Structure 1
Amino acid sequence: MNTRKSDASMGKTDFLECLEVIPERIEDGGGLFHVFTVEKKGIELELTVFPFEEDIRFRLFRSGDNHAIFEYQIMNCKVAKFKKDKQGNEYLVFKNQKSYE
């Protein structure tokens, strides 16, 4: 897999724009991944992007707790895009196909 293409299709700048945080870049024996952490009202969202595997993991924590209260992983996610609707709501859209509307 071409890493540059994967980084672009996974929308790293889209994550930055929506989450408004700089990711922690981690490299281990399994490869490089990016961890975005956002905390609001006592809940912490940890969004991890695995660009080589094209996977995205979401975990929710209560602030200060080490055990996730929710965990979900999208495997083979080809596209992640930042969207803003007419009402001003902002969100990320995830697709497991290269085609994107």
Structure 2
Amino acid sequence: MLIWDETDVLTVLEVIPEQEVDGIWHKYCVEKDSLKLVITIYQYDGDVMFELINTLNNLSVFNMRLIDCNGVLRKKDSTGEYLQFAPSQCFGNRYDGESTIPFGVRVSVNPSINVSLYS
């Protein structure tokens, strides 16, 4: 199961998610500068889907799925505010919700949408 704080995701992405009735998934859609970022979080499975779409032609630019993501962590530093998504087995055991995530996917939306892999 995914360790996350919905408020942290809301704070960074600045959008209210669309939710499945039973809370199975949360879909966040952010649009800026001809790009649309769609992040779908399946909180019980721990799966997270990322998609970047060019809004000028409605074509997908980037797709990625993290299966069994351990956690989502909100960070703020000199580079800005962002979310870190931990890939499966990043910690060797259960994620505690506070430790720094050593590698994974980083997402920010200010000043522009950015999705990057980091280590």
Task: Give the TM-score range, shorter chain.
Answer: 0.7 to 0.9
How far did 1:11 drift?
2.3
- Of the three residues 49, 55, 79, the one matched with 1:57 is 49
Letter in 2 for 1:92: L
Equivalent position amino acid for 1:63 in 2: T
Mapped partners of 1:11, 1:56: distance in 2: 14
Question: For residues 54 and 72 of structure 2, what CA distance do their matches in structure 1 show?
Answer: 26
In the alignment, what sits opposite 2:5? Answer: 11
Q: Which consecutive residues of structure 1, in runs of 5 or more, have no partner in the other structure?
A: none
Is 1:20–2:14 an aligned residue pair?
Answer: yes
**Match of residue 74, structure 2, among 70, 79, 82:** 82
Across the two proteins, how many residue pairs are aligned to each other?
A: 92
**2: distance between equivalents of 1:88 and 1:69?**
24
Q: CA deviation at 1:88?
A: 5.4
Quote the offset at 1:54 in angstroms: 0.3
Q: Secondary structure at the match of 1:45?
A: strand
- List runs of 5+ in structure 2 lacking aligned partners: 101-119
Contact 1:10 1:54 in 2 (8 A): no
Q: Which has the higher helix share?
A: 1
> Out of 84, 89, 101, which is 1:93 matched to?
84
TM-score with structure 1 length normalisation?
A: 0.78
Name the aligned partner's letter for residue 10 of structure 2: L
Aligned to 2:15, the other structure's residue is in SS state coil
Indicate the percent of aligned positions where both proteins have the same amino acid: 34
Shift >3 Å, 4+ stretches: 64-67
The offset of 1:75, in angstroms, is: 1.2
TM-score, normalising length: structure 2: 0.67
